[in-house]
Chain A
């Protein structure tokens, strides 16, 4: 693979302003989807097919007994081993040379397998109606603004972030930066950590979290679902091989039968039977 790039999110510098949410909608021409009141400043319970990035708000009483008001820019992780890419039956999901995971909208058939297998509940389906009134679905998520990356720009959210909580850079640089940052803030945030889960091979959206992942509602140890691995890496190829094998065996049986049966003149049976 060419140089891998990563979106770096340092939640400790985030002030929850949500300019990144608007920048994303603006760049990608996404419609607004106002929700019912959720009881906090959080606008959406989860990312959706039309809202690719949601700021989560968590009030957390930390280990020192003080209140932390934690914000996290949540969007697609762009996993190195992306479960969505793995399970897509149409190969509509693929990796770019920078490491991003993208969905080819023309190829997607809206089956929803990706939605069910994402360990982070990111990718979602959207319902459409074409001009004939026929309904269809497509899967959508953060694209990491690959169209901007191709032009030498950075993702819209990163460009907009005014505190420098988000940056975009080469993977190794970002990982180093993240680890350095965690050391800097250990005193203020003893549970601070780099969130770059190994279970999905590491991701291309890497976080410096102020608290343990579960405080943010993130899985502690996300991984590509075992069922997906067994399915795509084993059952499917074995199944195909098996069918191929059976077909060949049967073809062989047909040929052999024709050949040997003639030779042998049929098999013994009780009443001679009605064999041709």
Chain B
């Protein structure tokens, strides 16, 4: 099975702004997690010396926390269209989204499944986004009360600890799934290049986000892969 020419064709899925924002978000999230780990569980106490002791970890955590707030604004300011598109997707739910879920589970475990036509983001990605947004809000808001306890009423600070825990507990679980699907899982990992270069394989995009791909073809942005001109070698 060799790579055919068609497999090399890529289409632009994400703007540079999004790529940067996503990268910062991801790195910050992981960094925040690591700098919090030794305090979260004794199992990771060996990290303390590497992080410069509890104060070093605390400082790094706060620097990364500020970084964690930026992506939303980077995305919004430098790619407002992309941002609004994202927002629109998150609030648009149709029958196909529910169908997606049942097919997704089968697909995840390697059973026979079929594609349900999706728009720019599939239902799973939408859920991922919503959960990550909720978690981010919880984390950032409670992060403030934890960082500046003297400024906030005690009750808010106390609930902050709880919500921070919920935020990173849930967030991490979601991130695990997100990373698995984008890096490891066979049928979704081709999309990984999207957050590096902004481009994804055209064939893959077409089969996974069919409605979006077809629209872009209509607009003349993406190559029509059904056009025999674009098919050089249809492998077995």
Q: Do A and B come into direct contact in the complex, CB within 8 Å?
A: yes
Bound: A135/B201 CA distance, A: 51
Determine whether the beta carbon of B166 is less than 8 Å from that of A135. Answer: no
Chain B residues lying within 8 Å of A235, measured Cβ to Cβ, are 162, 165-166, 169
Residue of A nearest to B55 (CB): A136
Chain B residues lying within 8 Å of A110, measured Cβ to Cβ, are 54-55
Interface of B is mostly: helix
- Let me know if A218 is at the binding interface, CB within 8 A: no
Chain B residues lying within 8 Å of A173, measured Cβ to Cβ, are none
Bound: A243/B173 CA distance, A: 5
- Let me know if A41 is at the binding interface, CB within 8 A: no
Bound: A238/B54 CA distance, A: 26
Bound: A34/B159 CA distance, A: 34
Chain B residues lying within 8 Å of A116, measured Cβ to Cβ, are 149, 154, 157-158, 161
Report the minimum CB–CB distance from B4 to chain A (whole Å).
Answer: 8
Determine whether the beta carbon of A264 is less than 8 Å from that of B161. Answer: no
A230-248 interface (Cβ within 8 A of B): 230-231, 235-236, 238-240, 242-243, 245-247
Bound: A236/B166 CA distance, A: 8
* A236-B1 contact, Cβ under 8 Å, with A87-B161, A110-B54: no
Report the minimum CB–CB distance from B160 to chain A (whole Å).
Answer: 8
Q: Across the A-B interface, how many residue pairs have beta carbons closer than 8 Å? A: 141
Q: Size range of the interface on B? A: 35 or more
Bound: A220/B122 CA distance, A: 54
Type the 1/0 row for A215-257, where 1 means its CB is closer than 8 Å to any CB of B. 0000000000101101100011011101101110010111011
Interface of A is mostly: helix
Determine whether the beta carbon of B206 is less than 8 Å from that of A270. Answer: yes
Q: Size range of the interface on A? A: 35 or more
Bound: A227/B58 CA distance, A: 23
Bound: A243/B175 CA distance, A: 10
Bound: A239/B165 CA distance, A: 8
Determine whether the beta carbon of B7 is less than 8 Å from that of A227. Answer: no
- Let me know if A267 is at the binding interface, CB within 8 A: yes
Determine whether the beta carbon of B1 is less than 8 Å from that of A254. Answer: no
Chain B residues lying within 8 Å of A270, measured Cβ to Cβ, are 115, 206-207, 210
Determine whether the beta carbon of B42 is less than 8 Å from that of A90. Answer: yes
- Let me know if B114 is at the binding interface, CB within 8 A: yes
* A273-B204 contact, Cβ under 8 Å, with A116-B154, A228-B161, A264-B111: yes
Q: Which of these, A246, A254, A257, contacts B173 with CB under 8 Å?
A: A246
Chain B residues lying within 8 Å of A256, measured Cβ to Cβ, are 109-110
* A260-B149 contact, Cβ under 8 Å, with A242-B169, A250-B176, A253-B185: no
Bound: A135/B159 CA distance, A: 28
Binding site for B on A (CB under 8 A): 87, 89-91, 109-113, 115-117, 134-137, 225, 227-228, 230-231, 235-236, 238-240, 242-243, 245-247, 250, 252-254, 256-261, 263-264, 267-276
* A252-B109 contact, Cβ under 8 Å, with A91-B42, A246-B176, A246-B177: yes
Chain B residues lying within 8 Å of A253, measured Cβ to Cβ, are 108-110, 180, 185
Interface centre among B108, B109, B159, B203 (most CB of A within 10 A): B109
B163-192 interface (Cβ within 8 A of A): 165-166, 168-170, 172-173, 176-177, 180, 184-187, 190
Report the minimum CB–CB distance from B58 to chain A (whole Å).
Answer: 8
Besides the contacts A90-B39, A247-B176, A274-B204, what 17 more A-B pairs have beta carbons closer than 8 Å?
A: A110-B54, A111-B54, A117-B161, A225-B158, A227-B155, A228-B161, A230-B162, A236-B165, A250-B180, A252-B109, A254-B185, A260-B111, A263-B110, A264-B111, A267-B113, A268-B114, A275-B187
Chain B residues lying within 8 Å of A136, measured Cβ to Cβ, are 53-55
* A113-B110 contact, Cβ under 8 Å, with A247-B176, A257-B186, A273-B203: no
Residue of B nearest to A262 (CB): B110
Report the minimum CB–CB distance from A274 to chain B (whole Å).
Answer: 4
Chain B residues lying within 8 Å of A264, measured Cβ to Cβ, are 110-112
Q: Which of these, B1, B54, B149, B226, contacts A276 with CB under 8 Å?
A: B1
Task: Report 28 cross-chain contacts, Cβ distance below 8 Å, ordered by A residue.
Answer: A87-B161, A89-B39, A89-B40, A109-B39, A111-B58, A116-B158, A117-B161, A227-B155, A228-B162, A231-B165, A236-B165, A238-B169, A239-B168, A240-B169, A242-B170, A243-B172, A253-B110, A254-B185, A256-B110, A261-B186, A267-B112, A267-B113, A268-B115, A269-B207, A272-B234, A273-B207, A274-B203, A274-B204
